[in-house]
Structure 1
């Protein structure tokens, strides 16, 4: 995909300023670190400084989308922007009344035809292949997300690993450029209880460096001075013989998946999760990156959640250590998705939330981290995925990337949004010459929908932000109706 270069006269008028007021505004009903973007009276593309990211032409953005898909998308986004609708969905999915028999079948059938088909790539890998192929025809790429998580025993972990390995194999049915990443959740291939134990031990070692962890492999810094350690209240017991055996099995699963991805030349992106288990996830990720990331071709990517107060400090420490070891790193930057959980947990321990106090602080952290990493990958090895639904961040990154010439270097920068959301931003970034991926969960409805509903519950502001997409969709539907009538 060719990169469109912005003239110098335009670049001079674009400043990468993290103090710029974001388009997002804080809503009273939302927690402070994440908030929706308001419905703009005029899309942000009429000013000269936005010339590289044009979002004011509904026909250009949605011209390749079928009318049927536009109608369904507009309807689903309207529904998910209504809080009571999300509450009802959560109640239905959790209610014992709908867990078996005809009521369950009816709910699953209705869900399959509406929310599932909008936000998910299909019920199996074969269906995901078809969805990704159609998406690629529109100029976008797919992140293949086998939608499992939270395994509790080795049998479940082994079964999940088979699903991830099959996902890598199925990718061969698609053009290589159509799939950017395979996504894995460590919670799906390592028992949750073990991840909690590992995180406790890693946190205690941060408190007391004299603690010896004989099972620990070479890794990169996991904590910073500002990292919260309140989860571990007392010195943990060493891993038992059985736990060490389970750890070895989990390491072998991740090693097998990394090797499969390396053979397929397909990067593996490790999702971030809540802070209770994130230290162990980072440990697995960085230990694997040291083994598999060579030259300028990262195979293993980690995730930084920038709504966390210690995100930038951890990022600086990790990249510095990786440079010293000669390990090219790949990172995905996100704002975060466990806001309410983190705040409640911290409060239960009598500590302040690990999440930034204001939405502006979160924006500043995301923009600062993206600027730092853009400069790193522009001048050296490594790659960057910027997962954002925020238009202002998109504009700032586009300007910075053009200034540094990152957009012209293949596989250095990828933008990403959730499948079924922020399509205007996705198509706008693609039209501007950048690689853009959609995060595409797939799997049986009853397996994937609880995950999506939890994301909906934790990201109400994100769903409300769909107003920008909905307005542009209405414009395009109106244009088509007018053209058909007249």
Structure 2
């Protein structure tokens, strides 16, 4: 497979020298784990003390990883990257809410994103998190089949209604909706609900997509299980594959509560799991839509090889590559330049409200061995290329 991810000129064509320098400084800082710990602690404290740090956050980490404070604010990013062949998944990145008004607000945001997607070729998907529609501890109770009181029954009915409303409107508007994965102790409840939505709305076309975190040891079996059900019942499956975002939290909770961690014992095992899922889905593409969410170049090349072997065209509408906005531009823009379907996850929301997301993003960058170093390496290479070209 021809190596395409080293072309920094294509990757950073949209970045000015100033933008490139800002990214360089940010990733340089994120490459130093103690600094990330101090910096994220400072941001949390400053916001609690109502210090005027929003502008600083906006001009640094926010602008690197977020498209704007609302949907309209993101349109400049949406249009700019689409001109280079990269689509957008608008992601309302407000996390950790636990009241009904916030859940209703998230529902309205998701419906608005579906409307945006219907009107714009550049936005092929909508997305939401299960916990944006209801309390995590209620999902957990449902998962464990614990008794719930009348008020909680009403709450759960509201969660189901929100899921159904989004999927129904998405079906009407012909927009595919991806539902993110979360912590394992609530995920089965979410999985069951998403499966019901697939049974209901994926009969003629793929509208509903679940997300599988392949650092979980059980996900390949789950993938095969739902595939068998889909074949016997006659509906399609949408799958977004990711490696996973809650490893430290999962391992800590397992240790505290004395049960085996659901997470693969090594990164190699996770990589093997992820690539096995790529092969399984491309072997059964008549049933699936695949959104391969990955910053791992080896897995991206593997998927490209599978497509080549199986004579699947680069722009087959049932296969998408996805990366987060502000990261892995060497993958996204080079894939697009070679005719593959690519989408960036573009988070948005009020600066203060998306800080938990931004902190998680910074922490994940330091936790993934080599990720920040690779970003830095490519930025440095592009800066050097530009200097040479201006001599």
TM, length-normalised to structure 2: 0.95
What secondary structure does 2:240 align onto?
strand
Pairing 1:115–2:64 present: no
Partner of 1:368: 276
Partner of 1:198: 142
* CA distance in 1 between partners of 2:144 and 2:249 (Å): 18
The range that moved more, 455-464 or 327-336, is 455-464
What secondary structure does 1:343 align onto?
helix
Question: Is the contact between residue 194 and residue 210 of structure 2 (CA under 8 Å) also seen in structure 1?
Answer: yes
What secondary structure does 1:410 align onto?
coil
* CA distance in 2 between partners of 1:67 and 1:463 (Å): 27
Pairing 1:72–2:22 present: yes
TM, length-normalised to structure 1: 0.77
Partner of 2:388: 482
Counterparts in 2 of 1:252-331, with a 5 A limit? 252-295=161-204, 297-331=205-239
Pairing 1:383–2:289 present: yes
Partner of 2:363: 457
Partner of 1:407: 313
Counterparts in 2 of 1:95-134, with a 5 A limit? 95=45, 98-101=47-50, 103=51, 105=52, 107-134=53-80
Partner of 1:163: 109
Cα deviation for residue 350 of structure 1 reads: 1.4
Q: Provide the aligned length of Structure 1 versus Structure 2.
A: 391
Change (3 A) 1:428 1:249: same
* CA distance in 1 between partners of 2:300 and 2:315 (Å): 18
Cα deviation for residue 263 of structure 1 reads: 2.5
* CA distance in 1 between partners of 2:91 and 2:239 (Å): 17
* CA distance in 2 between partners of 1:75 and 1:474 (Å): 11
Partner of 1:337: 245
Partner of 2:88: 142
Change (3 A) 1:150 1:280: farther
Change (3 A) 1:348 1:459: farther
Question: Is the contact between residue 81 and residue 463 of structure 1 (CA under 8 Å) also seen in structure 2?
Answer: no
* CA distance in 2 between partners of 1:409 and 1:170 (Å): 23
- Give CA-to-partner distance per residue, 1:21-71, whole Å, 9 cap, x none: xxxxxxxxxxxxxxxxxxxxxxxxxxxxx31x4123322333343333222
Partner of 1:394: 300
* CA distance in 2 between partners of 1:125 and 1:279 (Å): 31
Partner of 1:5: none
Partner of 1:154: 100
- Give CA-to-partner distance per residue, 1:208-267, whole Å, 9 cap, x none: xxxxxxxxxxxxxxxxxxxxxxxxxxxx32x32222222221111111111222232211
Pairing 1:425–2:336 present: no
* CA distance in 1 between partners of 2:226 and 2:287 (Å): 14
* CA distance in 2 between partners of 1:347 and 1:459 (Å): 24
The range that moved more, 393-402 or 191-200, is 191-200
Change (3 A) 1:98 1:446: closer
Match of 2:159 among 250, 274, 282: 250
Change (3 A) 1:59 1:450: same
Q: Specify the structure having the higher radius of gyration (Cα).
A: 1
Alpha carbon RMSD of aligned pairs, Å? 1.8
Cα deviation for residue 458 of structure 1 reads: 4.2
Cα deviation for residue 352 of structure 1 reads: 2.4
* CA distance in 2 between partners of 1:64 and 1:157 (Å): 36
